[in-house]
Amino acid sequence: MARTQVLEVPVQGMDCAECALHVQQAIAKLPGVEAVNVLLAAEKAVIRLDPERVGLPAIRDAVESAGYSVPEAAASAAPPLAALNRQMTALLAVVFAVVLAVVVVGEWLGLFDRLNELVPLPVGVALVAAGGFPVFRNVARAALRRQITSHTLMTVGAVAALLVGQWVAAAIVVVFMRVGDYVERFTAERARRAVRELTALAPQAARVERDGVEVEVPLAEVRPGDIVVVRPGEKIPVDGEVVAGHATVDQAAITGESMPVEVAAGSHVFAATVATLGSLRVRALRVGADTTFGRVIKMVEEAEAHRGEVQRLADKFSGYYLPLVAGVAALTFLISRNALATAAVLVVACSCSFALATPVAMLASIGASAKRGLLIKGGKYLEALARADVVLLDKTGTLTLGQPQITDVVPLNGRSASEVLALAATAERYSEHPLAEAVRRAARDQGLRIAEPEHFEAIPGMGVRAQVNGSQVSVGNRRLVSAPEAAAVAQALEAQGKTLLFVAADGAPVGVLAAADTLRAEVPAAVAELRRLGVQHVELLTGDHERTAAALAGQLGVRYRANLLPEHKIEVVKDYQARGHVVVMVGDGVNDAPALAQADVGIAMGAAGADVAIEAAHIALMREDWRLIPAVFRTARRTMGVVKLNIAFTAVYNLLGLTLAAFGVLPPTLAAAAQSLPDLGILANSARLLRQG
């Protein structure tokens, strides 16, 4: 049986989506390659292959035959273009505008016609060939593979200009082809920046204890089980468990949350987070690409491989667009016999702007979201989220904190609330029941002293009994403690879906404690915001009993279904989908994993460190903050708005350019300048997504 292997190969020289497509096609033709995704932003190809049939040398040859290269080792630093900032963008735009103005003025004054007459045609042809050699070489390689690129038409346009003796027009075509290449390269670098900024956060070395001595080693040499030493101000290099020390850790790289957390022995920490105060000894559990941070980077890198319907439509359109342009050019020549107008038609059309319209916006949005603790697996999920009209909610650990809290203390028979809580906490001191921990936590929060019980007895299914200061204290349900005088209070609390603990001293009831898995404070406002965003149906799905579900749903003003098993939740999702709804499921990523996977968009809460959550969900929230839910809806809708504007702008612009060129209004020189403008517009429009708050 053939053994399948996944190989990641760096690819250099890709500047646009069309470049990535050519590399993907070249690799896909190799025997033994089962699947390939070429990631423009990450500058690499992810290939699933049979290693017995194909290897790296064959892949390198295929990439080079497509006009690109496979470096011996991945570059350690981003190329200079990745450092370009807004000022450089403005400078590029100014330079482009100046060159465009010179071309317009030169055409209007007839300077190019005079230059064309003064310089011999062979000299002009040599200048054009020298300036356009890199482009012409790639076009020739594509032609040998029977492929048409956006530069194919422009090259044909330049050749057509040379054939009619207009070498200056051909030279200007070449100039603007090169300018357009730089614009596209800059656009691609902006898309890559989010990935590189994330990657730069990862530490490259670790201080490890080896034979009782601290040794600094490359991160690749750290193994699970190693004890890693982290000093104040250093990045934690692994996912692991703190075995000694205490520190304040900045987890913004993982959760997007700016507030640091306190960690001590027993706490779990994540790679790429920073120990701002204090030092730690950490037992490594996951290292390298297996850490939460490593998986975050992988998700962002591979996000562009998950293409939505808008992206597929743009790709399909690009496939038909170039032959269409060739047909318009042929028709122009047949009708007008105007070679320059024909050349202008070929030059003004460039499909790269269509190919860039969707991925640049998606990658900008996905990269910006990752910095805020929102991991989005691909553009198709943003697209689905923008159309979603049903949101289904898990309860425990999603809407609620996932652990019981004491919400009410009702004293009886002259006792005070603090006295009742202190008695109950002392009696529950050694109980392992979750409700016992809730009682102890409530007492500690109020600063009450939890005494040492003189005798402790756990009574299964009923509660506990203990000797406290000479009195026999019982804490449990009605089967253990009878409190008829608390019947009315108990009924009211149980109607709210709360669990009751009755407290008695020497057989006499002294109070009632009510516990509930409390709602997260930010949830009501977040659910209200979802409704304002146009979500028609919000529904609670829970395995809890009817009374608890009804109480929680009543607080939020949503519908509910109770007593559900995981398979029942899947059926609810399928039912909504069968009726034509786009469904979002929000859960904790563990018991909700099947429903998260079935939904059009599954959103996992608090996914940091949770393998199941990151694998099952389409969007993972790295911290348990419900404000991120409406935020990701707004991000999706804003992103799709930018994508649609990109496509509409490109379509209208190219249609206008083709029309003007076909009627001879737009000469080849201006057509060459005009074809690069849509890329600049798409870059500027998509860059707005990098600044989302």
* Mean pLDDT computed over 335-349: 81
User: Which range (129-138, 347-356, 541-550) has the least confidence?
Assistant: 347-356
Please give the mean pLDDT across all residues of the chain: 80
* Residue ranges making up the domain that contains 510: 402-519
Together in a domain, 389 and 480: no
Q: Give the per-residue pLDDT at 76.
A: 37
| CATH number for position 238 | 2.70.150.10
* Mean pLDDT computed over 469-479: 89
| CATH number for position 498 | 3.40.1110.10
Helix axes 133-144, 121-131, angle to 10 degrees: 70
> Can you tell me which residue has the tokens 């998700």?
299
* Mean pLDDT computed over 189-215: 73
Together in a domain, 600 and 668: no
Question: Helix (H, G, I), strand (E, B), or coil: what is residue 92?
Answer: helix
Beta strands, E only, 264-319: 268-269, 274-286
Asked which of 23, 56, 76 is the last residue of a domain, the reply is: 76
Q: Give the per-residue pLDDT at 12.
A: 82
- Residue 291 located in a structural domain: no
Measure the CA–CA gap between 235 and 165, rounded to whole angstroms: 64
Asked which of 519, 544, 574 is the last residue of a domain, the reply is: 519
Together in a domain, 649 and 612: no
Together in a domain, 569 and 611: yes
* Mean pLDDT computed over 535-543: 88
* Highest mean pLDDT: which range of 118-132, 181-195, 217-231: 217-231
Together in a domain, 524 and 576: yes
For the segment 235-264, what is each residue's pLDDT rounded down to a tens digit? Answer: 899 999 999 998 888 876 665 555 577 888
* Mean pLDDT computed over 176-195: 61
- Residue 171 located in a structural domain: yes
User: Which range (413-427, 468-482, 555-569, 588-602) has the least confidence?
Assistant: 588-602
Tokens in use for 499?
A: 């669990």
DSSP state of 69: B
Together in a domain, 524 and 388: yes
* Highest mean pLDDT: which range of 152-161, 456-465, 604-613: 456-465
pLDDT of 227 higher than 60 = yes
| Helix, strand and coil percent figures for the chain, each rounded to 5 | 50, 20, 25
Together in a domain, 454 and 581: no
Q: Give the per-residue pLDDT at 81.
A: 35
Together in a domain, 556 and 570: yes
| Percent of the chain predicted with pLDDT > 90 | 21
Catalytic residue among 181, 239, 250, 394: 394
For the segment 38-85, what is each residue's pLDDT rounded down to a tens digit? Answer: 876 667 888 888 888 888 889 998 888 887 888 875 433 333 333 334
Please indicate whether residue 566 or residue 269 has the higher confidence score (pLDDT): 269
341 in Cβ contact with 663 (< 8 Å) = yes
DSSP state of 564: -
Question: Helix (H, G, I), strand (E, B), or coil: what is residue 174?
Answer: helix
In terms of Cβ atoms closer than 10 Å to its own Cβ (0-12, 13-18, 19+), residue 90 is: exposed
Asked which of 233, 260, 286 is the last residue of a domain, the reply is: 286
CA distances from 119 to 110, 123, 549 (A): 15, 7, 85
pTM of the entire predicted model:
0.66
Together in a domain, 312 and 444: no
pLDDT of 503 higher than 90 = yes
For the segment 78-106, what is each residue's pLDDT rounded down to a tens digit? Answer: 333 333 344 444 545 555 555 555 555 66
Q: Residue 455: which H helix or E strand, with range?
A: strand 455-459
* Mean pLDDT computed over 439-446: 93
| CATH number for position 60 | 3.30.70.100
For the segment 2-11, what is each residue's pLDDT rounded down to a tens digit? Answer: 577 888 888 8
Q: Residue 300: which H helix or E strand, with range?
A: helix 292-302
Residue 296: closest CA among 393, 372, 183, 222: 372
Long-range contacts from 656-659, C-beta under 8 angstroms, 24+ separation: 657/348, 657/349, 658/325, 658/328, 658/345, 658/348, 658/349
Together in a domain, 604 and 649: no
Domain count, the chain: 5
394 is known as an active-site residue: yes
Q: Give the per-residue pLDDT at 440.
A: 94
